[in-house]
Amino acid sequence: MTTIVPTSEDNPVISVVRVTSELAWADAGLEVAEPQVARLCIEAQECIMMGRWVDLASLMLTSAELITSKVSEKDFECIFTVICSLATRAGSPDEALEIAKLISTKIIQQPSDKTALRLKILFNLYNLLEDPYNRFFVYTKALNLAANGKMIESIIPSLKMIDSFLQEWNIEKEDQRDLFLTISNILKDNKSMSKESFIFLSKYLTTFSMEEAFLMNEEKEEAVRAIIEFVKSPDMFQCDLPGMPAISQLEKDEKYALVYQLLEIFLNSRLDRYLDFHARNSALLKSYGLVHEECITKMRLLSLIDLSCNESGEIPYAKVTEALQIRDDEVEYWVVKAIMSKVLDCKMDQMNQVVIVSRRTERVFGLSQWQGLRSKLVNWRANIATAISTIQSSKVADEGVQAVQEGVMTR
């Protein structure tokens, strides 16, 4: 492993050019190497004098690429820190972007080699850039490097800040789509991140207007994937997919109408309707990798949610056995499972054979659910105001009684 020795040159750029070119030409022999090193240093100096920062970056990257295996990680980082600094000298955002593209291309070429260090270099470059779009570009390259280098966990923290990043980047709708879909695809192969993958896939689909949705071609596959992922997920019981034009247009699609019908069953129906659908379309479900027994389990929990929608909030055990198609002695098992899955908050009255529900998960959270929430908040606010008024009135009355008592005692 070669160690870079500091030189006496004042300009770090020329120092890096000299050292990297010496290492790159070392195997050619001194007679061949010396003139080549001198030539590269002269070219670098000319680029600096003329402000040709893109050409200088290209020149430096050519040598840096050749010595990757010859230097330590610390020296590798130092070399690219100097190269990345050229982006700050660019005369325009477009020139800075060209430099960023050159650096990113070289960095991501070997994703399995020094992956963590390469990601660090890209994020250092990101922080050096001032133009929002240039930052967005480098971030997308970091995403791809993390995915190809099997280091997805390193970019997870940044995904939680995507909304604030989007405000900063102010990118076009097409770029947003590409970003959301890229993130979703990166996460989908990680089982522990399936829900996050679904969220970003949903973000992608929400970018399509009604007019754009009817012009979708390959994008329809992503809409179908969102439906299948929701149906397949054992811990997702609520979604707003039907409200998206990209999803709703599948209802009348010749190829995918049955997939849309499946979504409607999982959002609005009970187990019996699913079983009817399965009897007629079992091959379709298998083709999408759906397991019948897992679908039954989810539909039983969803059916319990549906049963809890009555105003009394009470579900007789008999209705549970009928809707879930289970034995009497299995009712409490499924109620406990619903509680553990966080779709219901409830108690079981074994004496009266009823389930008393205090809270349920809404299977679809659309306009009517928002209106219902608003109504509850209005009522809550009115109740609080009444309570405050009652307390104040009581306080005034107490103060009046106390004043009268004090007056009597004075006399």
Encode pLDDT of 6-35 as tens digits: 444 558 899 888 888 888 777 766 677 788
Q: What are phi and psi of 71, to 5 degrees?
A: -120, 160
Position 401 scores a pLDDT of 57
Position 387 scores a pLDDT of 72
pLDDT reading at 370 higher than 60: no
Assess contact for 60 and 21: CB atoms under 8 A: no
pLDDT reading at 398 higher than 60: yes
Cα–Cα–Cα angle for 202, 208, 213, rounded to 5 degrees: 110
Position 304 scores a pLDDT of 95
Name residue 330's amino acid: E
Position 377 scores a pLDDT of 66
Position 8 scores a pLDDT of 42
If you ran DSSP here, which 8-state letter would residue 347 be given?
A: E
| Residues whose CB is less than 8 angstroms from the CB of residue 164 and which lie 6 or more positions away in sequence, other chains included | none
Cα–Cα–Cα angle for 349, 353, 358, rounded to 5 degrees: 45
In tens, the pLDDT along 236-258 reads: 999 989 999 999 999 999 999 99
Residue 355: strand pairing partners:
315, 348
Cα–Cα–Cα angle for 205, 173, 229, rounded to 5 degrees: 20
| Residues whose CB is less than 8 angstroms from the CB of residue 70 and which lie 6 or more positions away in sequence, other chains included | 1, 2, 23
pTM over 0.85: no
In tens, the pLDDT along 94-104 reads: 999 999 999 99
CA–CA separation, 336 and 341 (whole Å): 8
pLDDT reading at 178 higher than 90: yes
In tens, the pLDDT along 50-80 reads: 999 999 999 999 888 877 777 888 988 999 9
Quick one: tokens of 284? 């379709």
Higher pLDDT, 90 or 374: 90
pLDDT-based confidence at 202, cuts 50/70/90?
very high
CA–CA separation, 237 and 241 (whole Å): 12
Q: Report how far apart, in Å, the C-alpha atoms of 16 and of each of 8, 44, 62, 220, 327 are.
A: 12, 10, 12, 50, 77
The secondary structure of 148-212 as a DSSP string is HTT-GGGTHHHHTTHHHHHHHH---HHHHHHHHHHHHHHHHT-GGGHHHHHHHHHHHHHT--HHH
In tens, the pLDDT along 283-298 reads: 999 999 999 999 999 9
CA 136 to chain centre: 16
Position 24 scores a pLDDT of 78
pLDDT-based confidence at 404, cuts 50/70/90?
low
In tens, the pLDDT along 122-177 reads: 999 999 999 999 999 999 999 999 999 999 999 999 999 999 999 999 999 999 99
Please give the average per-residue pLDDT across 201-228, as a whole number: 93
pLDDT reading at 405 higher than 80: no
